[in-house]
């Protein structure tokens, strides 16, 4: 398995960004004949029927989930949905009240399990007076066959600050260091809890590219994030939690396709009142002279639109983004529920 992973690190694939929108199929063609292990261990982590309560609050309610080899699974949900609880159960920091959990075929939290996992948690501070390099080298020593130091630095984008004390790092640099610590052991399963918090857009992009690269090498990744674009771009599979239950699961496309809406955007000088009068239009947003229209009858809406005015340019029609889906799904879920959505998630 080690050797296998090392090999994978060596075989970098050009054009990996093409894979951003690829399907949830976790096993790439060509990898399947490299190792039997990979196929046999297709499921790297499984959660079956797991529940967890904090006092009266239900944090997880009979959640079942499989994480496949080489898959990026995004766990989405509002605060208190049970994301952190789920991650902590997978990390072995919390015990499940009900159901079974297995990670790499072992119990979560065991040392042999942990040696094959990497985790990036939300940490408010790290020991000030160690350099980036010392931190990474220390964490590397915990693993049997860590990624080469230079490779770690490269992946996490830390070349220029490797001798800086962690005290002097910016928020984004700290996140990159934590990312480096999570991946440095060449883990089979990587937990990323809000990895891009505090990063600027460039850093975020390079983080995404690093995650994608790891994924390509067969690393399974569990990601929680608030940045839906992140999930949309990286995930093979998205899981939406609310109030401890999985409300949606599938590839980003699947989720998006479950949406009735299309998005029509264009620039126009037409007053917004006129647009609101159109029957096929569900919702209109105006920013400057850029309109965004949501509709579940795009053809009818376009027809009505062109009937009303010629002042339309830069017209695009797109399916809904994951974010839209997320907002919509959550909204519908919340209206169903009469209980207030108290925060039942554990504070870190």
Partner 1 sequence: MNIVATESQPDLIKIYLLESKAEILKVIRSPGFTLPSLLFPVMFYLFFGVIFTMNAASMPTYLLATYGTFGVIGPALFSFGVGIAIERGQGWFELKEVSPMPASAYILGRVAVTFLFSVFTIILLFTIGAIFGEVRLQREQWLLLAVILTFGSIPFCAIGMALGLYLKSNSAPAVVNLLYLPMAFLSGLWVPINFFPELMQSVANFLPAYHLAQLGLKVVSMDSGQSVWLHIGILSLYLVVFSILALKAYTKKDKQ
Per DSSP, the chain holds a count of helices (H) and strands (E) of: 13, 13
Give the nearer residue to partner 1 in terms of CB position, either 77 or 108: 108
Q: Which is nearer to partner 1, 35 or 328 (CB)?
A: 35
Task: Identify residues 188-217 at the interface with partner 1 (CB under 8 A).
Answer: 191
- Residue 229 in contact with partner 1, rule: CB under 8 A: no
Nearest to partner 1 of 3, 316 (CB atom)? 3
Q: Which is nearer to partner 1, 37 or 160 (CB)?
A: 37
Answer yes or no whether residue 8 interacts with partner 1 by CB under 8 A. Answer: no
Q: Establish if 95 lies at the interface with partner 1 (CB under 8 A).
A: yes
Contact yes or no for 86/47 (Cβ under 8 A): yes
Phi and psi of 321, rounded to 5°?
-75, 165
Residue 321 near partner 1 by CB under 8 A: no
CB of 157 to partner 1, least distance (A): 20
Are 220 and 189 spatial neighbours (Cβ–Cβ below 8 Å)? yes
Q: Should residue 178 be labelled a site residue for partner 1 when binding is judged by CB under 8 A?
A: yes
Binding flags for partner 1, 262-291, as an x/- string (CB under 8 A): ------------------------------
For residue 179, state whether it binds partner 1 (rule: CB under 8 A). no
Footprint (CB under 8 A) of partner 1, residues 150-169: 165
Cα 205 from Cα 228, distance rounded (Å): 14
Considering beta carbons, is residue 287 or 347 the nearer one to partner 1?
347
Q: What does the alpha-carbon distance between residue 282 and residue 290 come to, in Å, rounded to a whole number? A: 17
Residues 111-150 vs partner 1: string with x where CB under 8 A?
xx-xxxxxx-xxxxxxxxxx---x--xxx-xxxxx-----
Tell me if 107 contacts partner 1 by CB under 8 A. no
Taking the CB of residue 168, how many other CB atoms lie within 10 A of it? 11
Q: Which CA distances in Å does 323 have to 192, 228, 263, 341?
A: 19, 6, 12, 20
Exactly one of 60, 86, 104, 270 binds partner 1 (CB under 8 A); that residue is 104
Q: Where are the beta strands (DSSP E) in the chain?
A: 43-54, 57-68, 72-76, 98-103, 117-120, 189-193, 220-224, 237-242, 245-250, 262-267, 283-287, 290-295, 313-319
Residue 257, H or E segment: helix 252-257
Shortest separation between residue 31's beta carbon and partner 1, angstroms: 14
**What angle is formed at CA 344 by the lines to CA 339 and CA 345, rounded to 5 degrees?**
140
Instruction: Give the nearer residue to partner 1 in terms of CB position, either 36 or 287.
Output: 36
**Separation CA 249–CA 77 (nearest Å):** 12
Residue 76, classed as helix, strand or coil, is strand
Verify binding: residue 93, partner 1, rule CB under 8 A. Answer: yes
Q: In degrees rounded to 5, what are phi and psi of residue 336?
A: -65, -40
Q: Report the nearest approach of partner 1 to the CB of residue 5 (Å).
A: 9
The answer to whether residue 44 forms part of the interface with partner 1 (CB under 8 A) is: no
Nearer to partner 1, 19 or 197 (CB): 197
Q: Phi, psi (5° rounding) for residue 247?
A: -100, -25
CA distances (Å), origin 164, targets 128, 175, 202: 10, 14, 21
- Nearest approach in angstroms of CB 109 to partner 1 is 8
User: Backbone phi, then psi, for 243, in 5-degree steps?
Assistant: 50, 40
Q: Which is nearer to partner 1, 107 or 299 (CB)?
A: 107
Binding site for partner 1 (CB under 8 A): 1-4, 35, 37, 91-95, 104, 106, 109, 111-112, 114-119, 121-130, 134, 137-139, 141-145, 165, 178, 181, 185, 191, 346, 348
């Amino acid at each position: 398995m080690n050797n296998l992973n090392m090999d994978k690190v060596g075989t970098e694939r050009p054009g990996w960004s093409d894979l951003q929108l690829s399907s949830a199929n976790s096993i790439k063609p060509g990898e399947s004949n490299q190792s039997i292990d990979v196929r046999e261990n297709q499921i790297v982590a499984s959660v079956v029927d797991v529940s967890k309560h904090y006092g009266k609050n239900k944090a997880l309610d009979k959640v079942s989930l499989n994480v496949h080899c080489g898959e990026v699974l995004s766990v989405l949900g509002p605060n208190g949905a049970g994301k952190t609880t789920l991650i902590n159960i997978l990390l072995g920091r919390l015990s499940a009240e009900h159901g079974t959990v297995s990670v790499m075929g072992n119990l979560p939290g065991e040392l042999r399990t942990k040696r094959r996992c990497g985790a990036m948690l939300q940490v408010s501070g790290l020991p000030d007076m160690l350099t980036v390099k010392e931190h990474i080298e220390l964490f590397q020593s915990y693993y049997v066959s860590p990624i080469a130091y230079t490779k770690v630095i490269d992946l996490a984008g830390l070349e220029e600050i490797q001798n800086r004390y962690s005290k002097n790092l910016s928020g984004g640099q700290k996140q990159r260091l934590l990312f480096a610590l999570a991946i440095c052991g060449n883990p089979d399963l990587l937990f990323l809890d809000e990895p891009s918090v505090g990063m600027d857009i460039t850093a975020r992009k390079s983080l995404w590219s690093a995650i994608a690269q790891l994924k390509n090498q067969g690393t399974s990744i569990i990601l929680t994030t608030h940045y839906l674009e992140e999930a949309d771009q990286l995930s093979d599979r998205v899981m939406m939690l609310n109030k401890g239950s999985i409300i949606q699961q599938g590839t980003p496309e699947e989720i998006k396709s479950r949406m009735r809406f299309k998005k029509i955007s264009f620039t126009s000088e037409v007053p917004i009142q006129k647009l609101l009068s159109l029957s096929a239009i569900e919702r209109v947003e105006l920013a400057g002279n850029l309109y965004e229209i949501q509709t579940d009858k795009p053809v009818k809406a376009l027809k009505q639109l062109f009937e009303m005015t010629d002042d339309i340019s830069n017209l695009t029609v797109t399916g809904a983004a994951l974010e839209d889906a997320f907002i919509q799904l959550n909204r519908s879920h919340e209206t169903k529920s009469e209980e207030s959505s108290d925060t039942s998630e554990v504070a870190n």
